[in-house]
Structures are given as C-alpha cells and as structure tokens.
Structure 1
Amino acid sequence: MQKNRFRALALLVLISSFLFFLFLGNHPLLEPDEGRYSEIPREMIERGDFITPTLNYVKYFEKPVLHYWLTALSFKLFGYTEFASRFWPALLGVLGTAVTYGLASFLFGTRAGFFSGLILATSWIYFAIAQINIIDMGVSVFITMALAGFLLGSAGNRRHLLLFYGGMGLATLSKGLIGIVLPCAVAGAWILATRDWKLIRRTLYGWGILLFFGLTLPWYIAVCLKNPEFFHFFFIREHFLRYTTKIHGRYEPAWFFIPILLAGGLPWTAFWLRPLAGLRESREKLFLFLWFAVIFSFFSFSSSKLIPYILPVFPALSILAGEKIDRYLKRPDLEPFKFELVLSSILIGLFSTALVAYPFLQDRFPVAVLLRVTVPLATALLLGLLCAWSFWLKRRPRSVVISLFMGAFFACLALKSGFTFYGSFLSARQTAEIIEKARQPGDLIVSYEDYDQGIPFYLKTRVVLVNWKGELEFGSGIGDQSDWFISGERFMDLWKSNRHMIVIFRENRYRDMLAKGVANMHVLGRANDSVVVTNRLEEGAQ
C-alpha cells in the first residue's frame, strides 16, 4: 500500500513538473506583474538590502517579502532569466498538487488523491498561474498546507498542526494578514458547523504558535524598525482600506468570481458543482465545502478583486471532484457520469464558443494570430469531451476519465502558446532591446506618462518617470525623488538641454509631440505601442 502511494505521488509530480516547467522560459516577462515581481528582487540583490523592497529604486510596501526572497534566490542560481523569474511559481505549483494529493489520500484513498492532484494540475486557472511570476501561487499553496495541517492535526497527531501554523506563517510572509485570517476563518466555520468546541483548545498548539511567530515576526519587526512608514501603509492602507474601499480601483461586482470559478475549473467544473449533495456524508466533506465557501465569500465581498485571488479554493474543489470520480468508478453502472458529462458539455460548449468568438470581438490583437491560440485550446477540450461521451456509450468508465484528463492535459499545452502570443504584445523586452543597442553611459532612460515595469529589469537601471506615479506614488514621496519623477515642463527643459535622453512614448503621445512641433525627435525603433526616441542624432535613428 505504501509503495502504491509513493508511485502515485511520483507519477503526479512527474506529470505536474512536465506541464509546469515545459517551455517555462520561452517567452518574455509579461507586463505589468512579471516585470514588477522580477525587478524588486533584482534591486534587492543589487542594493544588498533584503529587508526593504524597492521598485524602480523607491520603497514599495504593497506586499511582504517571501516571494521576493525566493525569486532573488532563483536569480542567484539561474541568472536573470525568464525561467529563473518563473521558477518558484512553477515549483510551488507542483508542491500544491502534491499537498492536495496527500490530503485527499488521507481522507479518501490513494486513487482519489491521485485524481485530486491531477485535476488541480490540469485546471486551467491553476496551470496558468503556475506559469506566471506572481505571488498568488505561493499564497494558495501555503494556505493549502495550513488547512491540510489543521484537518490532519484535528483528527490525529497534534504534530500535524505544525503544518497548520507553518503554512499560515509562510502565507503571512507572502501576502500579509490573509495568510492567517483565511485558514482561521475556515477552521472556525468548521468548528461552528460541527459544534466540536474541544477543537479550539486542541488547535492551540504551543510549538506551532512559536513556529508561526518565528517565521513572521523577524522580518515584520525589522522592516518596521528600518521604515517607520511601513506599518500604516501596509497594515492600514493595503489591508483594511483595500478590502473596504475602492482605493485601488479594482472594484468588481460581488458575482465577479462566479464565471472565473466556472471557467477556471474546466473541464472538471461539473464534478464539484454539486458539493452540497454529500455534505452530510462526512465531516471531512463539510470541511472541504467550508474551505471553498469561506474563501470564495471573503473575496467576493472585497472591494478589490483580481482573478488570481480565488486560487486557494481550487485544491478543496479538486479533492471533492477527485473523490467523486473515484466513487463513481467503484459503481457497476455509468449513470452517475451522465449528469457530469451533460453539464460539462454545456460549460465546455459555452467556453469554446467564447474562445473562438473572442478574437473577432476585440481590436487589440490580430484576429488570425489570436485564433491560433484560442482554437487549439477549444479543440483540445472538445475532443476530450467527445471521447468521454464515446466511451460512456460503450460503458467504459475508466476510459471516460482518461479522455477527460487527456483533453485537459492537451488544453494546458495549447495554453502555453497563449503565453508566447501575449509575450509578443505585452512585454517590455523588445523596447528594452532597442534601448540597449543605442544607449551610452550617462544617458537618461525616460518613460513618458506611462511605465513598463520590465524596462528597469531588462536594462538593469533606473527609469525617469514623466507625469506618472501610479503604484509608486507612496515611494515617490519618501526622500528626494525630484530627479526621477518629473513634470512635463521639466521634461521639455531637459529635452532641449545638452543632456542625452532616450525616451519611451506611447504612439499617441509621440504623435502629440510631433503635432506640437517638438524638435530633435529621432526614432530609434518601435515595439508594439511604444516608440523609442532620442534627442541625439545618431546612426540608425530616423
């Protein structure tokens, strides 16, 4: 039995690693997130300061430090490459499938655990976020570890609670207070629902509490002592005001995450869409449902919403789906699969239609090029579904499941081409390459009324920002930053001076400058919507 569990885990890790690491570094950093979360650790290494995060060399306190530390480590190991930038989200994605497998195996058996891990790995939203350098994958994995540790610790050896407290500590060091709020809220809801009040005392594990504070307090204390302004900005503005107000301009309606949930779990959505049906069967299923419901509700009521926020619900949903598939395969009839296949047909049909229609409904990207991304993705899902129906009619349940897995697997591979596509349009690398060929020591690199986060990463230098502060507004007010955040009037004075400048304009701003008759606008090159211009006439300029 133990050997079978190890083999299943090894196979799951192998499949997940193949999916997540294949072609991981083949496309440039995507704007704006990957540029931001690559530049911050690069600056940490350059400055030798791993306490105070900076972005474009001004203090940046929107997130805690763990993700930056991990990315800095991968840069030291692999160099400043796109692969190194995305290494930890991919690796943590594999870890997340393994933790999901471990919990599901403990609750429902090895086969259910294997299905659960594979469902998670091939759910397109989980797969996609494992390919992007953002913080959310780590947060999701650490919350999964915490909740797995809580459930295991409440059912058996209290030492499993170290996983509960350790996971919360790592999540808190990754994204702040939600690292402790969400796991405790789920645990509290379960205690209330089961009225098992003894769990409160059992969960208060001294060694675990020491572990949590040992992981979190050193950095939080150090950053507060070094930066007195950190506490109010991070804890008040970035937590309470961000959750309760529209301060970040990311407001969406309460139902925003529903379509994300339905589409993000494909092709497995139908297998967990009826979680209420089995709630009375076991306390464990109730826990998994509350895991989903509490986190989903928390972010739905938040005033700030982004797609990756609900990633932590998918391990719980994957376990519910994996257990259901495992239970169905134990039955002699195929009737249980019928509802899921019908519902999957509706959801995948709608999603595939949207994928094929989307290129014709937008005007930002070339239709023919975008179709090369969306059509293979839709085709993989539809072929998997058609094969599943075919085997259902032949009464071959195992082949039904294999068909769905294969459709999901090839859909993930097709999605990789989407990253390559968007990398050609949503990256600063091409712009940086134009600048790198032309710049000389002492040149000012300037971004006019906009800011591509990847520019300082690729050029390894600071950028002057004209009429733009954005998320750097807080840092721009600390210390003397007057030479780096300048007005349009001061920019024109510098442009007319003898100071050599290379400036990034958006196409519309460049045309505005030409219309105003600004002199010495020598174009070095164009990349997507950016025009790179210098005030120094040189070979290759127009």
Structure 2
Amino acid sequence: MQKDRFRAMALLLFVSAFLFFLFLGNHPLLEPDEGRYSEIPREMIERGDFITPTLNYVKYFEKPVLHYWLTALSFKLFGYTEFASRFWPALLGVLGTAVTFWLASSLYGTRAGFFSGFILATSWIYFAIAQINIIDMGVSVFMTMALAGFFLGATGDRRCFLLFYGGMALATLSKGLIGIVLPCAVAGAWILATRNWKVIRKTLYGWGILLFLGLTLPWYIAVCLKNPEFFHFFFIREHFLRYTTRIHDRYEPAWFFIPILLAGGVPWTAFWVRPLLGVRESRERLYLSLWFAIIFIFFSLSSSKLIPYILPVFPALSILAGHKLDRYLTHPHADGIATELVMTTLLMGLLSGALIAYPFFQDRFSAGVLLRVTVPLAGTLLLTLFATWASWRKHRTNAVVASLFIGALFTCLALKGGFAFYGTFLSAKQTAEIIEKARQPGDMIVSYEDYDQGIPFYLKTRVVLVNWLGELEFGSKIGDQSEWFIDRETFMKRWESNRHMIVIFREKRYKDMLAKGVGNMRVLGRANDAVVVTNRPEEGAQ
C-alpha cells in the first residue's frame, strides 16, 4: 500500500513538474505583475536590505516579504532570468499538488489522491498561475497546507497541527492577515457544524503556536521598527480599507468569481458541482465544501477583486472531483457521470466557440495571428469531448477517465502558446532592449505619464517618472523623491537642458508632444505601444 502511494506521488510530481517547468523561461516578463515581483527582490539584493521592500527604489508595503525572499534566492541561484523569476511559483505549484494528493489519499485512498492532484495541476487557472510570478500561488499552497493539517490533526495525529500553524505562518508572510483569518474561519465553521467542541482544545497545540509566532513575528517586528509608517499602511489601508472600500479601484460585482470558477476549473468544472451539493454525506465532504464556500464568499464580498484571489478554493474542489471520478471507476452504474459529461460538453463547447470567434471581435491583434493560439486550444477541447463520449458510449469506464486525463494534458500544452503570444505584447523587455543598445553612462531613463514595471528590472536602474504615481504614491512621499517624481514642466526644463535623456512615451503621448512642437526628439525605436525617444543628437551630428 505504501509503495503504491509512493509511486502515485512520484508520478504526480513528475507530471506536475513537466507541465509547470516546460518552457518556463521562454517568454519575457508579463506586465505589470511579473515586472513588479521581479524588481522588488532584485532591489533587495542590490541594496542588501531584506527587511524593507522597495519598488523603483521607494518603499513598497502592499505585500509581506516571503515571496520576495524566495525570488531573491532563485535570482542568486539562477541569475536574473525569466526562469528564475518564475521558479518559485512553479515549484510551489508542484508542492500544492503534492499536499492535495496527501490530503485526498488520506481521506479517500491513493487513486483518489492521484486523481485529485492531477485535476488540480491541469485546471486552467492553477496551471496558468503556476507559471506566473505572482504571490497567489504561494498563498494558495500555504493555505492548503494549513487546511490539510487542521483536518488531519482534528481527526487523527495531533502533530499534523504543526502543518496547520506552519501553513498559516507562511501564508501570513505571503499576504498578511488572510493567512490566519481564512484557515481559522474554515476550521471554526467545521467545528460549529459538526459540534465537535473537543477539537478546539486539541487545536490549541503549544508547539504549533510557537512555530507560528517564531516564523511570523521576527520580520513583522523588524519592519515596523525600521519603518514606523508600515503598520498603518499595511494593516489598516491594505487590509481593512482595501476589503471594505474601493481604494484600489478594483471593484467588481459580487458574481465576479462565478465565471472565473467555471472557466478556471476546465476541463474538470462539472465534476465538483454535484459533490458540493452533497455536503451532508460525510464530515470530509462537509469540510471540503466549507473550505470552498467560506473562501469564495469572503472574496466575493470584498470591494477589491482580482482573478487569482480565488485560487485557494481549487484544491478542495479538485479533491471533490477526484473522489467523484474514483467512485465512478469503482461503481460505474451507481456513481455514473453522464450528467457531468453533458455539463462538460456544454461548457467546453461554448469555450471552443468563443475561442474561435474571439479573434474576429477584437481589434488589438491581427485575427490571423490570434487564431494560431486559439484554434489549437479549441481543437484540443473538442477532441477531448469526442474521445470521452466515444468511450462512454462503449461503456469503457477506464477509457473515459483516460480520455479526460490525456485531453487535459494536451489542453494545458496548448495553453502554453498563450504565454508566448502575450509575452510578445505584454512585456517591457523589447522596450528595455532598445534603451540598452542606445544608453550611455549618465543618461537619465524617463517614463512619461506611464510606467512599465519591468523596465528597471531589465535595465537594473531607477526610472524617473513624469506625472505618474500609481502604486508608488505612498513611497513617493517618504524622503526627498523630487528628482525622481516630476511634473510636465520640470520634465520640459530637463529635456531642453544639456542633460541627456531617454524617454518612454506611449504612442498617443508622443504624437501630442510632436503636435506641441517639442523639438530635438530622436526616435530610437518602437515596441508595441511604446516609443523610445532621446534628446541626444546622433553621434557625429553638429
């Protein structure tokens, strides 16, 4: 039994690592998130300060420090590359499938555990976020560790609570108080629903509490002592005001995450819908359903919503889906999946149609170019449906599951093309390469009324910002930053001086400058919507 479990785990780790690490460094950093979360740890290394995060060399306190530390470590190991930037999200993605396997196999057996981990790895949203340098993969994995540790500790070995407290600590170091609030809310709701009051005392595990405090307090205390402004900005503004107000202008309607769930779970969405409705069947299913419901409702009620926020619900949904498929193989007549296949056909059919039609209803890219990405993806979805239904009609249960699994793999591989495509259009790397070829020592690098986060990362230098603050507004007010945050009038004075400048304009702003008669504008190159201009005359010009 243990040997089978080990083999299943090894196979799952291999498949997950293959999916997440394949071509991981082949496309440039995507704006704005990957540029931001690469530049902050780069600056930490350059400054030798691993307590105070900075972005474009001003204090940046929107997130805690763990993700920056991990990325800085990968930069030290692999250099300042795209692969190094994405290394930890990919590795943590693999770890997340392993933790999901461990919990699911403990609840439902080895085969269900493998199915659950595989379903998680090949769900579109999890697969995608495992290859993007953002904080959310770490948050999801650490919460999964915490929630797995709680349930296994509550129903078995108390030492599993070390994972509960350790996971919460790492989540808290990744994204703040939700690392405590959400796991405790799920655990508390389950205790309340089952009326298993004895678990409360069992959960108050001394070694676990010490582990949590030992992991979280040192950095939070250090950053508060070093930066008195941190406490109010981070805990008040970035937690309570962010959740209850529209301070970040990320408001979306309460139903925002519903289509994200449906599309993000493809091709497995239909397989967790019915299990969610059977919450009273067992304490395990109740726990998984509460895991989903509380996190989903919490973020749906928030005034600030982004797609990756919902990622922590997918391990629970994957276990429900994995258990469903495991039961289908064991009892194909009692636990049939005809309803799930019909739902899958409807969802994947609609997605396929949308993927084929979308290129003709947008004007940002050439339809022919975009079809090279969308048609293979739509094709894999349709082929998966065809193979699955063909196997189902012949009552070949193993072939049905195999068709779904193979189709999921090829669908994920088809999705890889999307990264390469959007990396061409959503990256500052081409702009940075134009600047790098032209700049000379002493040149001032300027971004006019906009800011690409990847520019300072690729150029390894600070950028002057004209009439733009954005998320740097807080840091721009600490210390004397007047040389680096300037208005249009100051910019024009510098432009007309003898100070050599290389300036990034958006196409519209560049045309506005030409229309105003601004002189001495020599174009160095264009990249997407960016126009790189200098006031330095060509070499040899009189």
User: Scaled by the length of structure 1, what TM-score is found?
Assistant: 0.99
Superposition pairs for residues 32-431 of structure 1, below 5 Å? 32-333=32-333, 336-431=336-431
Q: What's the offset of the Cα at 1:539? A: 5.0
Displacement, 1:228? 0.1
| Deviations 1:409-464 (CA, angstroms, capped at 9, x unpaired) | 11111111100000100000000000000000000000000000000000000000
CA-to-partner distance for each residue in 1:68-108, whole Å, 9 max, x for gaps? 00000000000000000000000000000000000000000
| TM superposition shift of 1:278 | 2.7
Tell me how far apart the structure 2 counterparts of residues 277 and 487 of structure 1 sit (CA, whole Å).
Answer: 57
| CA distance in structure 2 between the partners assigned to 1:540 and 1:84 by the alignment | 41
Deviation sequence 1:395-417 (CA, Å, 0-9, x none): 10111011111111111111111
- Whether the 8 Å contact between 1:334 and 1:395 is mirrored in structure 2 is no
Distance 1:364 1:140 in 2: 33
Task: State the Cα distance separating 1:333 from its structure 2 match.
Answer: 3.0
Q: CA deviation at 1:279?
A: 1.7
Alpha-carbon distance change, 539 to 336 in structure 1, aligned in 2, over 3 angstroms: farther
Which whole-Å deviations, capped at 9, do the CAs of 1:1-20 have from their partners, x for residues lacking one?
00000000000000000000
**Partner Cα separation in structure 1 for residue 392 and residue 281 of structure 2:** 27
Q: How far apart, CA to CA, are the structure 1 residues paired with 2:334 and 2:399?
A: 12
Give the C-alpha shift of residue 355 in structure 1: 1.5
Aligned in 2, Cα 1:488/1:480: closer, same or farther, shift over 3 Å?
same
Matched AA of 2:319:
I
Q: What RMSD in Å do the two structures reach over aligned CA positions? A: 1.1
Q: Which residue of 1 aligns with 2:524?
A: 524
Q: Deviation of residue 332 (structure 1)?
A: 4.6
Q: 1:488 and 1:239 mapped to 2: Cα distance?
A: 34
**Any idea what the Cα deviations from partners look like across 1:484-529, whole Å, max 9, x if unmatched?**
0000000000000000000000000000000000000000000000
* CA distance in 1 between partners of 2:335 and 2:206 (Å): 50
Match of 1:261, SS?
Answer: helix
2 CA distance for matches of 1:276 and 1:419?
32
Residue 15 of structure 2 is aligned to residue 15 of structure 1 = yes
Contact 2:169-2:216 within 8 A present in 1 as well? yes
Structure 1 runs (4+) greater than 4 angstroms displaced? none
Higher mean C-alpha deviation, range 347-356 or range 455-464: 347-356
CA shift, 1:275, in A, is 2.5
CA spacing shift, 1:321–1:540, aligned 2, 3 Å: farther
Secondary structure of the residue aligned to 1:336 is coil
- Output the amino acid matched with 1:312: P
Contact 1:244/1:302 (CA < 8 Å) preserved in 2? yes
Report deviation, 1:358.
1.6
Shift of 1:385: 1.4
**1:128-180 alpha-carbon deviations (Å, 9 max, x no partner):** 00010000000000000000000010011111000000000000000000000
Distance in 2 (CA, whole Å) between partners of 1:439 and 1:509 is: 22
Tell me the SS of whatever aligns to 2:278: helix
Deviation per CA, 1:169-216: give whole Å up to 9, x if none.
Answer: 000000000000000000011011111111111111111000001110
- Map of 2:468 onto structure 1: 468
**AA matched with 1:437:** K
Q: CA deviation at 1:369?
A: 1.2
Alpha-carbon distance between aligned partners in 2 of 1:334 and 1:383, rounded to the nearest angstrom: 27
Mapped partners of 1:342, 1:250: distance in 2: 35
* Residues 332/261 of structure 1: CA separation in 2 closer, same or farther (3 Å cut): closer
> Which AA in structure 2 matches 1:131?
Q
- What is the CA deviation profile of residues 220-242 of structure 1, one whole-angstrom value per residue up to 9, with x for unaligned ones? 00000000000000000000000
Q: Which runs of 5+ in 1 are unaligned?
A: none
Change (3 A) 1:131 1:332: closer
Cα shift at 1:540: 11
Distance 1:396 1:213 in 2: 53
Q: 1:28 corresponds to which residue?
A: 28
